[in-house]
Amino acid sequence: MPPPSDIVKVAIEWPGANAQLIEFDQVLFTAHAPSRGDIKNGTILRLAISPVTARQLLERIQSHGIDARLEALKELAKLSADPTFATEFINMEGLATLARLVESGTQYDFGEMLAFTLTAFLELMDHGIVSWDLISVSFIKQIAGYVNQPMVDVSILQRSLAILESMVLNSHSLYQRVAQETPVAQLIAHLQVSNQEIQTYAIALINALFLKTPEDRRQVHTHTKPTHWNRPVKAEMAHQLYVLQVLTFNLLEEHMMTKMDPNDQTQRDIIFELRRIAFDGDNDPSGTEKRKAIYTKDYKMLGFTNPVNPAMDFTQTPPGMLALDNMLYLAKVHQDTYIRIVLENCSREDKHECPFGRSAIELTRMLCDILQVGELPNEGCNDFHPMFFTHEHAWEEFFCVCIQLLNKTWKEMRATAEDFNKVMTVVREQITRALAMKPPSLEQLRVKLRSLSYSEILRLRQSERMSQDDFQSPPIIELRERIQPEILELIKQQRLNRLCEGSCFRKLGNRRRQEKFWFCRLSLNHKVLHYGDLDESPQGEVPFELLTDKIPVSDIKAVLTGKDCPHMKEKSALKQNKEVLELAFSVLYDPDEALNFVAPSKYEYCIWTDGLSALLGKELGSDLTRSDLDTLMSMEMKLRLLDLENIAIPEAPPPVPKEPSTYNFTYNYG
């Protein structure tokens, strides 16, 4: 017997508890609230938090019972993420109560109670209802004390680092106090622990302090201990390391953009020191006419463009004085290598000598360009190089490795002065290919570069050129045209399969990115988009049951990208970031409704925009599709033409021969 039509099954959700499925009598409901309309099966009812709940919770937190207070704080930590509850709780002076509990110290130190208190405090402050400038000095000292403690609970340390980071990013006055109370050396010590989340929060705080520190004092933040990041690094950790790497290299910008003053005797003495180390052991800078002539000859052998006045070689920016810094480091720290490079080139024929001075200057300029010295970090980027964290003078050592590579490549190419730019092009390719392999140490970089000899670069170029060449003969063009629809259908199916697996997205505007996520995936029949919030980044697929919201594909009106997206039209420094704009897209499913995305990477952006286009019956136009199409077409063409390898394919079919004058060559089998 079917159930009465007035009885429907609905899910009831309320803060701090799992949803429950109950039977609901619409007759009783509409009798009390006739304007609500019919409630359908499967409806989810969310119960709001009342001011009474906030008031009762605050009273329990202020109670003397330890157990009651702990349970109340645990509940508060969950509810604080809700903006409505947060507003009510803060209006009742709840935030001030939490601050006083933290400031009280002694009996409140450490343990679960403090961890829940700090979690709730941070969640409440993240709503932006109260200014961070209202935080007291005693509160800052207490939080900084947890960070400076040699032995402290991991959960407390994690939340304390996050609170200090928010203080620094949101208030200039608080930055000064946090910088005073939290020594960078102590933060660096936290990088040596095995807990990657603590490392991530510590680097995030270092980066925040770095950004707020006046430029003339930033050098102090770069003295990090050498660290090897051999184990897998999570996305947020990789991003923070990337930011630290960018900020560290940006310290080079001042010298990179500073021209040498030919009249500055201190700077001229550095050039003299380069000559002295290379050619003699005396330290006598006295200048007679005879000595000046000798110096000019030496400076020519050192490879300066202006041997009479080599200071003029350092007047172009970039690389400016940074090139001279690199040369001096090589000469003093790796003296044997420096002398060998200089003397080796002096003994070559004039036309084959590699000019050390000019090479060092151009190499410095190239490295600045490759590593984008002076550029601001991009939101969402995580392209860091582990080897730059393994040495206190990573930049200088990187230069020393690369100048030896340049000298080696010059010899392999048997280059002359006219080939200088060709050599630099090859060296740039060698360096970028090696960096793309992400060597974990500078020594591993040397190994990678040794394997990328000039002959290997030529081989790689030839191989890549062959794989990318489009044969232009009509038969090949016709074959490509026949194959292309099959390849495009294969790519389309791959995109839809990836949408069925789903992806995790970060909530825009949340600084603590690793704590705010939502997930979206396509149903297996390609008819519904399921999505919902998550407490943490998932390790695999998220079951459909956990994704409470959905959009029928048939309701999707359009897919917008970049500046056209509704969430990119709001005025926000973060949302105006070029990197974020390139990863943004929106699904319009109602004239006033949109589901807004910011992809975690360019790859995921292409996958989702392609997949959504496929669902709507539109062409796949992403860069990834073009790349995949080229790769798969090339592979398929090679497979089909294997039997024709090394056989020239004619541009046109061979002509039909004339008819023979007689057919006497035929044989009669009758």
Number of domains in the chain: 5
Condensed to tens digits (0 to 9), the pLDDT of residues 478-503 reads: 888 889 999 999 999 999 999 999 99
Condensed to tens digits (0 to 9), the pLDDT of residues 218-239 reads: 654 445 556 666 568 888 899 9
Condensed to tens digits (0 to 9), the pLDDT of residues 520-531 reads: 999 999 999 999
Residues 492 and 617 in one domain: yes
Give the model's pLDDT for residue 435: 96
Give the model's pLDDT for residue 109: 46
Residues 518 and 548 in one domain: yes
Residues 411 and 497 in one domain: no
Which residues in 12-46 are b (16+ Cβ under 10 Å) and which e? Answer: eeebeeeeeeeebebeeeeeeeeeeeeeeeeeeee
**pTM, rounded to two decimals:** 0.64
H/E stretch holding 414 reads: none
The CA distance from 667 to 631, in Å, is 52
pLDDT (mean) for 184-188: 86
Condensed to tens digits (0 to 9), the pLDDT of residues 143-167 reads: 999 999 878 889 999 999 999 999 9
Residue 563 belongs to a domain with what CATH number? 2.30.29.30
- Give residue 30's identity as a one-letter amino acid code: T
In this predicted structure, which of 61-65, 108-112, 333-337, 615-619 has the lowest mean pLDDT?
108-112
- 54 has pLDDT over 80: yes
Condensed to tens digits (0 to 9), the pLDDT of residues 400-429 reads: 999 999 999 999 999 998 999 999 999 999
- pLDDT band of 3, cuts 50, 70, 90: low
Q: Which of 101, 130, 159 corresponds to the end of one domain?
A: 130
Domain interval for residue 591? 486-626
Residues 409 and 378 in one domain: yes
For the sheet containing 20-25, what is the strand order?
20-25, 7-13, 44-46
More confident residue, 409 or 645: 409
Residues 342 and 441 in one domain: yes
Residue 1 lies in a domain: no
Residues 405 and 456 in one domain: yes
Give the model's pLDDT for residue 33: 44
Residue 289 contacts residue 282 (beta carbons within 8 Å): no
Half-sphere exposure of 487 (CA within 13 A, CB side): 19
How confident is the prediction for the chain on average, in pLDDT?
84
- 342 has pLDDT over 90: yes
pLDDT (mean) for 368-376: 93
> Percent of the chain having pLDDT more than 90?
51
Residues 366 and 386 in one domain: yes
- Which residues are within 8 A (CB) of 284 and not within 5 positions of it... i.e. 6 or more apart? none
Helix (H, G, I), strand (E, B) or coil at 384: coil
Residue 252 lies in a domain: no
The CA distance from 464 to 457, in Å, is 10
Residue 481 lies in a domain: no
Residue 645 lies in a domain: no
Q: What is the DSSP letter of 520?
A: E
- pLDDT band of 361, cuts 50, 70, 90: very high
Residues 207 and 331 in one domain: no
Give the model's pLDDT for residue 126: 92
Residues 458 and 434 in one domain: yes
Residue 657 lies in a domain: no
Give the model's pLDDT for residue 513: 47
Half-sphere exposure of 113 (CA within 13 A, CB side): 17
Residue 325 contacts residue 368 (beta carbons within 8 Å): no
Residues 42 and 15 in one domain: yes
Condensed to tens digits (0 to 9), the pLDDT of residues 274-329 reads: 999 998 754 555 545 657 788 889 999 999 999 999 999 999 999 999 999 999 99
Residues 200 and 335 in one domain: no
CA-based R_g, the chain, Å: 34
Residues 402 and 300 in one domain: yes
More confident residue, 626 or 21: 626
